[in-house]
Structure formats: C-alpha cells, structure tokens
Chain A
Amino acid sequence: MATSLAIIGATSAIAQEVARIHASRGASLFVTARSPEKCAIIKADLLARGARQVDTAVFDAQTDFNTRDIVREIAAAQPECCAILIAHGVLSDNTLCAGDEHRAVSDFTINATSVIAVCTQAARWYESHTFPSTPCIAVISSVAGDRGRGSNYYYGAAKGAVTIFLQGLRNRLFKKGIHVVTIKPGFVDTPMTAHIPKNPLFASPQNVARAIVRAMERGTDVVYVPGFWRYVMLIIRLIPERVFKRLGL
C-alpha cells in the first residue's frame, strides 16, 4: 500500500474517491486542481477523513505542463512519494470538435499531450531515484481509446494515444522495476457524464476507485473497470473494419 500518493486532476469524481480511500488509511497525499478554492475543499475533506498530510498545487493541465515540472513540485513537498495517479481530462463533445478544430486540438492537449508530459516527468524522476517501495505511474485512460467510434473519436483518439504511450512506457520501465498501470473505465456515473441518461452499465465512482486502488497496489498492467468491459472491448476490436464502418456506434 502506498503511504503517499500524488493525484493530478483531483477534482474528478473518481480521483476524489481514490484519494478518500488513501486518506482513510492515513496516507499522505499531494493533489492538484485548477482552482485554489477546490484545492482547499479537497484538502479539508481528506484531512477530516484521516490523511496524515495533504499538500496541494494549483495546476491547469492544459497550459501548465509546458512551463512547470509538477513532479518536481511533488517531490519537493513529499520526497518519498512514488505513486502518481493522472486523472485529469475532459469528455469531448464530438460534434463541437468536428466543427471547431481549435477546440479539437485543445481537448487533445488536455486529454493526451499534457498526460504524456506529466508521465515523462514522473518516469524521469522515478528512474533516477531509489524509493522504499515500488514506484507506480497510473493513468485513467478509457475504453473509448480501444477503437475509434463515429460518436466520440476525438475523445477516443486522445485516450488511444495515452494507452499506446503507456504500453511503450511500461515496456521500457519494466526492467527498472517501475509499475505502469493503464486504467480503462467504462461508463461511470459522475458529473462528467451527468447529461447522459443512465443505464445498468454505469458504474459508481466508489467502485471504480476501489478497482484503481487494488490495481495500483498489485501493479496490474491494464485494468478494465468494471471487468466485463475487457470482453466487450475484445469483441468490438475484433469486428473487421469493413463491417465496423457501417455500424452506428
């Protein structure tokens, strides 16, 4: 169990639940959010739930990845912290992106480019230091990244880029004993999906969070949450493109 965890994008419902599980175990946390008010709300919540120490940083992934090494800031506050969960992102509106290339690029920057940047910072730091426990880089990708679908390929392309990047990173860092965990949630009932009508496929953020904590402890390479998505996506990936392009997905 990580006694110290950093979370980028801690305002996400899933990330908050992960942080709360660690807080209830008395862990130290370093969390980032875009606004100082939300940093303060999250910090108080985690301390009240039993976190030993909570540090915060105001960090806007869309722009700040260019100018700041957020992992260095984490290391400065909590030198022992060798587990990071990258949870920030936006659910792109495919129609809006299709009509506005600036929006498409800006969403891609948040969902993919900035994630790759922070992972690169984390990998550099973890490789060059020794830690009491196994370092772990975990990223919330998505089942949407497993295959491009007509209804959400802007979001899917960014998540797909992240998934492939993590495959390569895992392959390289394996020899150095660093875990890279790719998390692929299906539908989760969060404010991000508040506008979508719910069906039984939706998982609760609490359940997804428990699966993430378990995967990070075990160093699981790729985890689908809930697990049945592994098989759903297997079938979806196996459909020949000639057939797939005709489907309204």
Chain B
Amino acid sequence: MSRIESWGRTPQVQHRDIVNLQWRDALPDIGGMSETVLPFGNGRSYGDSCLNDGGVLLRTLAMNHLISIDEEALLVRCESGITFAELLSVLVPRGLFVPVTPGTKMLTVGGAIANDVHGKNHHSAGTFGCHVTRFELYRSDGTVKMCSPAENPELFSATIGGLGLTGLITWAEFTVIRIPSAFIRQENFRFANIDEYLATSREHDAVFPYVVSWIDCSVRGKGLGRGIYMGGSFTPVERDAFNEPPVRTRSLPVEMPSWFLNTLTVRLFNFGFYHKQWRRHSRFRVHYNPFFYPLDAIHGWNKLYGRAGFYQYQCVVPYATAPQALHELLRTTAKSGKASFLAVLKNFGAMSSPGMLSFPAEGVTLSMDFRNEGGATLKLMNELDTIVRSAGGRLYPAKDARMSKDHFLSSNPRWDEFRKWIDPRFSSTFYRRMAD
C-alpha cells in the first residue's frame, strides 16, 4: 500500500509526498505546496497518467461519502474517491446500476471522469462522461468551480477525460439506470477470424446493449483474430433478483516470476478459452460480476507479469480503415511471439464524448497486454503505432506509458484548447511527457 504504482507497474517513480484526502470541507492548500499535485484514486490507470514523479499525489480513496441518491430522477451525487464497487453495493440492491462501467469496479468515480472511461455498452450509451450532469472542481487558487453543461461548460468539457490536470473533483453527480435484476442474459458467438468478427458485430451489436469480444492473438494464418463475441443484457429473474451470490475472490499475494506468462502458457490459455466455447453459439445467464468484472475475482492479477510489470496497448481505428489495420496489428503481434494473454476487441458507437481529450471515437478498439521485456516490447509497440497512425487511429492515455508526443498531439486535435484549462499547480508524468 505504501509504494504507489500504476496498474501496469511500470514506470516506477518516486513521489515527494502522498496527501490523503478524507473530508471535502477541509482540503489542503494546494497553492502553498512547493511541488505540483495530481489527484490519485485507486491506481487502476495502467501507465503514467496517474503518476507525478517528484511531485505530490492527492489520494482521494478516503474521500468516499455519498451525498444523495434520487431514485425518482435516477441521479446519484457522491464524493470522487468512492469506488464503483462500493457504489454498486448500494445501488444494485435498489435495482439501480451505473450507466457505464469499465472492466474493473475497483476504480473511483473521480478516475472514471478524469479518463472518461468506456465499457461494454459504448455503442449504445457512450462514455461515462456522457452521463455526468455536474461536478465540483477544487482549484489550486482555493476557488471551487461548479461545472456542468450550463455552468463553466469549457471547464466541464476539459475535465471529462482531462487526466486529473484541471483540478480536484471533490464530488460529482451522474445519472444511473434501472435494472430488472442483477443478472445478465449472455450470448456467445464464436468467430474464426477477424473478418468473421466484423460480420458478427455488424449483425449483433444492435441487439445487445453490452458487447465485448475476446480474441486469441497467438494464432497466425487462417485463424488470425479468432475469438468469442460476448453479448449481454440485464434480464428479469423469478426471485432473489438483487441477491449477491457469494463471490469467490482469490488474491495473488506475491508477484509471479517473469517467465510465468510465456508463449506456451499464453497459447495454452488462449487455446482453452477458445475451445471451451465448443458450440458456435451459446446462451446462458450470469451474475453481473463475472460478466463485467471477470478479472476482479483475482486481486492483484497485475502481478502475474512479474517484477518488471507490463504495458497495455489500446488503440481505436476508424471503421473505414479497421479491417486492414486489425489484420496488420494482429499479424504483427502474432509474428512477434509476444502474444498477449488478454486481448479484447470492441466496436465504439457514434455517440460523441463530452470531453476534449476523451479517447473513444467511432471505430473498432483493440487492447492487448504485453509483459515488459524492455526494448523488444517497446519496438513491437512502435511497429503497432505505425499501423495505428496510418489508419488514422489513436491510443488511450489511461493505458499508456510510452506513446510518442507526436502521435498524441496529432491524434488529439483539441489539445491546444484543453491546455488553457489546466490548473497551473497540477501536473503528471504523462503530461510532462506530452508537453515538454
């Protein structure tokens, strides 16, 4: 707990100080601090966007009070340090759910806004930021700014997806949705290659509010990009609709040796995952936890990659260039032999994000994990960058520790507009990489 690291565990940096926030009525004087600050929630960003090397982190995890839940208007107001896990433990028993959730519930509400997170329902609901109605921003000059589409709209738009650089979100208000139960009716479709994926998603994306696809990127040739398309929707059940079945969580108390995930084990895992789905199509019911948060069942799974940590690579490419770009990305990855243990595909919808720097854009997003093996891993990702750039795509800052400044600036046309809203006393390792 004492050493602060991001989820990918690389880079390892030293902070001057960690300030724990607990009460929004007694916030520290940021302007009086000698170093720059950055809000830090629960450390689920993968790279360096949540780190502030040599500076101060404002930890928000203990600032986690609910303010109100309006079940009529479907509005929740809470402090920024509360995690989705805590929030869901209060919402689900009342038949409510967060409007958008990423693949972990261990993130905080502040982190969800700062990274304008997306989830399995991006094609039907947009990003989390699309559902934020207002929030309060504490700036280093000691002022407090109310932000909404009507009040301080530019600051509102800069802060959503603003990587924590525009000030400290003390509390936020967002809409929630009604659910008929805590269970999902899930349908799986197996696809044999990337072209079949594109056809399957074209056919079924309109049917399911929640969709994600897992792909096996260790296979080359005809089966390149084979995988399983998983669609789901909340479904009514006869009884115990909102009961929490006991969740068996395991934890990984020690980091695994770095060879643990090697080409062979990754291939075995992927082979098993693909062939477990022995029918082309299956249909079943699951609780929302395994559907949305399969990895949360293993605490500290990031230690699977050993001491040196890992990189996550998430890009989005427009539909027009996607078929060719995905082929090339997967071929390059498979050929490198550094096949990702977890690779995920998803189509982003047309709904635009309110944030100036929001990552999602209409197109296909691919995300892969790579164990940090130094130069060879960086070289592979640079090759992938070339493909993404020529396809007109971009990378997700929340998952990045190495993208080039050039690529970031050219793929984020609103960067100059965004910079005007940065709080002068806020900074991050990622920001300095892009701005200096």
Contacts and interface: CB of A to CB of B under 8 A. Distances in A.
A50 B62 CA distance: 20
A49 interface: yes
B348 to A, nearest CB: 33
Nearest to B89: A24
Most buried by A among B23, B68, B69: B23
Interface string B391-415: 0000000000000000000000000
Interface residues of B, number: 18
A49 B2 contact: no
B67 A194 contact: no
Given A189-B1, A202-B1, A38 B66 contact: no
A41 interface: yes
B65 interface: yes
Contacts of A44: 65-68
A233 B66 CA distance: 38
Most buried by B among A24, A42, A191: A191
Contacts of A191: 20, 22, 62
B25 interface: yes
A80 interface: no
A48 B1 contact: no
Nearest to A33: B23
A194 B20 contact: yes
A49 B20 contact: no
Contacts, number: 43
Nearest to B23: A38
A155 B319 CA distance: 65
A35 interface: yes
B90 interface: yes
B24 interface: yes
Contact of B67 (A45, A50, A198, A202): A45
A13 interface: yes
A41 B1 contact: no
A49 B1 contact: no
Contacts of A132: none
A52 B68 CA distance: 14
A37 interface: yes
Nearest to B21: A191
A48 B90 contact: yes
A2 B26 CA distance: 32
A41 B90 contact: no
Nearest to A199: B2
Interface in A13-55: 13, 24, 35, 37-38, 41-42, 44-45, 48-50
B2 A48 contact: no
Given A189-B1, A202-B1, A48 B25 contact: no
A49 B416 CA distance: 42
A198 B25 contact: no
A56 B77 CA distance: 21
A45 B65 contact: yes
A248 interface: no
Contacts of A99: none
Interface string A113-130: 000000000000000000
B25 A24 contact: no
B181 to A, nearest CB: 19
B3 to A, nearest CB: 9
A24 B2 contact: no
Interface in A184-201: 189-191, 194, 197-198
B69 A48 contact: yes
Contact of B62 (A13, A35, A38, A45): A13
Contacts of A38: 23, 25
A41 B78 CA distance: 10
Contacts of A197: 2
Given A189-B1, A198-B2, A45 B66 contact: yes
Interface string B89-122: 1100000000000000000000000000000000
Interface in B58-91: 62, 65-69, 78, 89-90
Contacts of A198: 1-2
Q: What 5 A-B pairs are tightest by C-beta distance, nearest first?
A: A48-B66, A198-B1, A37-B25, A45-B65, A198-B2
Interface of B: 1-2, 18, 20, 22-26, 62, 65-69, 78, 89-90
30 contacts: A11-B23, A13-B62, A24-B89, A35-B25, A37-B23, A37-B25, A37-B26, A41-B23, A41-B24, A41-B65, A42-B65, A44-B65, A44-B66, A45-B65, A45-B66, A45-B67, A48-B66, A48-B67, A48-B68, A48-B69, A48-B78, A48-B90, A49-B66, A50-B90, A189-B1, A190-B62, A191-B62, A194-B18, A197-B2, A198-B2
